Amino acid sequence: MSRQDTSDIVFRRILAVFPISILILVAGIFFQLVSASLPSLQKFGIGFLFHTTWDPVAENFGALPFIYGTCVTSLVALLLAVPVGVGVAIFLAEYAHPKVAKVISILVDLLAAIPSVIYGLWGIFVLVPYMRNSVQPFLGKYFGFLPFFQGPNYGVGFLAASIILAIIIIPFIISVAREVILAVPSVYKESAYALGATRWEAIWDIVLSYGRVGILGAVILALGRAIGETMAVTMIIGNNVVISPSLFSPGYTLASVLANEFAEADTNMYLSALIEIGLVLFLFSIVVNILARFLIWSVTKGPSQVIK
Amino acid sequence: MKKILALMVAMAMMTSLAFADSTLINGAGSTFIYPAITKWFDEYSKTNPNVQFNYQAIGSGGGIKQVTSKTVDFGATDGPMTMDQMTQAPGRIYHIPMVMGAVAVAYNIPGVGKGLKLTPEILAGIFLGKITQWNDPKITEQNPGVNLPSSSIVVAHRSDGSGTSFIFTDYLSSVSSDWKGKVGKGTSVNWPVGLGGKGNEGVSGLLKQSPGSIGYVELAYAKENNLTYALLQNKSGNFIEPTIDSTSKAAEGANIPADFRFSIVNSSNPDAYPISGTTWLLIYKQMDSVKGKAIVDFIRWAVTDGQKLTAAMDYAPLPANLVDLIQKKLDQVKY
């Protein structure tokens, strides 16, 4: 047993304060959300999660359309963003000239720094008209047999919101995935080449395989961002309390209903129901993170190897 | 003796300091009144430099909550407090009407210009999702000679809780029993159809970009952004364009109760624009001496001289008879 210096003990105790304060913060948020949403919890019970009506006038509240909207927009955004993000990361790390990679990396970081309200405005004035005039008519014409691409074409809706979300989260995926790929030891790649592997084989079998945990981490980070993203989504999702399989349909998310209605919520039950929406969003994020953790464990076959 | 004298001088200095110190009045609430109230504060403090104001535009609901918990000196709301909310307040609250405004029904129909005529029945039908085509016989009947397309109607409404929505749904509730039963009135309601845009800018964005759309925005906003808006049929059967005059007229025909918690939608005045609303300041009947006097003096100025300033900003001036009633009401405030 090594001798411990007093300053060492003091330093360790001081350091311990910080993680404990994070625990207290999370517990405090949870406690506050539960206590403030108590009237709503008592009135609607578990049914709050499954009701499809949101009527502030009659004080009849259900969260299902918002949960559905959050799931759909986040998942579609991931479907669009992951291939692009990882593709860009591979290009930057493996193919691009270092100078080109440097310039693109700076641009990617710049994209990540743009406030989401700017994306929202761009969405309203550029993306939505483009969706209505070009993208959605095309999808409706050639893929209209699928339930995802049916119904009236407004331009705003799930698809437009998902695309904005994808654009917002792509820089996060690129930044993290690129670092992960760069961290793959070159010995592995050189060994692959020595064995006669093509570049494609080296990247697919060696680099991506080695870095899969880190890339998954990037995806989870992006998913967290997509679930919580409020402003840009609110501006172009159409804010309509409906559950529709069509991506053309307007929808609503947990975060946007909070942003829209919190300021003017005038009765206690209304406010309480909105805070319960906040609670659902909070638990949603926790569940996603836990699922992600399990996913990473299953990929790395056991918790011991988790680095990221 | 010297000590006592010194003490007295010190006290005198302190009191004079306290008087010279400016009074800070805090308010919160309605976003609708925010531009007007900022303008008033700006002008008023030029002649009354000892009074300072701070107003937070956090929304009417927030204004009611903060004035009830006494964290601010006055609140501002676009819809009157309910009986329930009044009883929760720790003291008697007065509603003082400050400005009036109109909500314009704006539309974007390719090939159709300004001045489409709409009846209450048509408007309620569209927002209930019962009238879905622009060439519906109910609309064409009122607009002979206007070439209405067969395209479907895209309804746009506010997605954020707002006083504008309150005035609009208050109007629909008063003209349509169907609307009153199914939807009702509020700063946020369960819209039967349509797309939600955040803020006036969100709704006007939807309107500008969706051919065949209809929605509602504050009159000032519709004018500034060159939106085309409709003439609405009022209670007397006349089709009225929203202007500050036709909005002021709405209050002239209104039945004004002693507590001022009135609604001026669907006014019986034959020249009134029917979708008009009021923003009230919420003050306590009993206030502390310094702040109470400052607030009452400010309100007296704002409802008289101040109205000229806000008329230029497309707020409708309060009619003279209402200003008299407000002055009498303010006489009852104790401080």
The alpha carbon of residue B8 is apart from the nearest alpha carbon of chain A, in Å, by 51
Number of cross-chain residue pairs from A and B with Cβ atoms under 8 Å apart: 93
- Count CA atoms within 13 Å of residue A173 on its CB side: 29
pLDDT at B10: 60
Which helix (H) or strand (E) covers residue B279, if one does?
strand B276-284
**DSSP character for B136?**
-
**Cross-chain Cβ contact B61/A264 below 8 Å:** yes
pLDDT in tens, A232-266: 999 999 999 989 999 999 999 999 999 998 877 87
> Along chain A (308 residues), what's the average pLDDT of each consecutive run of 10 residues?
76 91 94 94 92 91 94 95 94 91 91 91 90 90 89 90 95 91 88 90 88 86 90 91 91 93 84 94 88 76 46
pLDDT at B154: 94
Of B58, B187, B195, the CB nearest to A266: B187
Whole-model pTM: value is 0.84
Give burial (CB, 10 Å; 0-12/13-18/19+) of A101. middle
**Cross-chain Cβ contact A241/B190 below 8 Å:** yes
**Which of A239, A252, A261, A264 is the best residue to mutate to test the B interface, defined by the most B CB atoms within 10 Å of its own CB?**
A264
Q: Could you tell me if A66 and B201 are in contact, meaning their C-beta atoms sit under 8 angstroms apart?
A: no
**Which of B60, B84, B198 is the best residue to mutate to test the A interface, defined by the most A CB atoms within 10 Å of its own CB?**
B198
Q: Could you tell me if B76 and B279 are in contact, meaning their C-beta atoms sit under 8 angstroms apart?
A: yes
pLDDT at A306: 41
Pairwise CA distance, residues A260 & A271, whole Å: 12
Q: Is ipTM > 0.85 here?
A: no
pLDDT at B32: 85
Cα A36 versus chain centre, distance: 26
pLDDT at A304: 44
Pairwise CA distance, residues A60 & A65, whole Å: 14
pLDDT in tens, chain B (335 residues): 566 656 665 655 555 444 456 789 999 998 888 889 999 999 998 998 889 999 998 888 888 889 999 999 999 998 889 888 899 899 999 999 999 999 999 999 998 988 899 999 999 999 999 999 999 999 999 999 899 999 999 999 999 888 889 999 999 999 999 999 999 998 889 999 999 998 888 898 889 888 999 999 999 889 888 899 999 999 999 999 999 999 999 888 677 888 999 888 998 889 999 999 999 999 999 998 889 999 999 999 999 999 989 888 889 999 888 999 999 999 999 88
Of B152, B162, B188, the CB nearest to A56: B188
pLDDT at A153: 87
Cα B321 versus chain centre, distance: 19
CA angle, B233 as apex, B229 and B234 as ends, to 5°? Answer: 120
Cα A240 versus chain centre, distance: 21
Cross-strand bridge partners of residue B286: B334
Q: Quick check: B255 contacting A, CB < 8 Å?
A: no
pLDDT at B9: 59
Percent helix, strand and coil across chain A, each to the nearest 5: 75, 0, 20
- Chain A interface residues (partner B, CB cutoff 8 A): 53-58, 124-125, 128-129, 132, 152, 154-156, 234-235, 238-241, 250, 252, 256, 259-266
Q: Could you tell me if A123 and A235 are in contact, meaning their C-beta atoms sit under 8 angstroms apart?
A: yes
The alpha carbon of residue A34 is apart from the nearest alpha carbon of chain B, in Å, by 21
Q: Quick check: B189 contacting A, CB < 8 Å?
A: yes
pLDDT at A204: 87
Pairwise CA distance, residues B154 & B102, whole Å: 22
Q: Could you tell me if A274 and A262 are in contact, meaning their C-beta atoms sit under 8 angstroms apart?
A: yes
Cα–Cα distances in angstroms (integers) from residue A51 to residues A65, A114, A241, A302, B160, in the given order: 8, 36, 11, 39, 21
Q: Quick check: B191 contacting A, CB < 8 Å?
A: yes
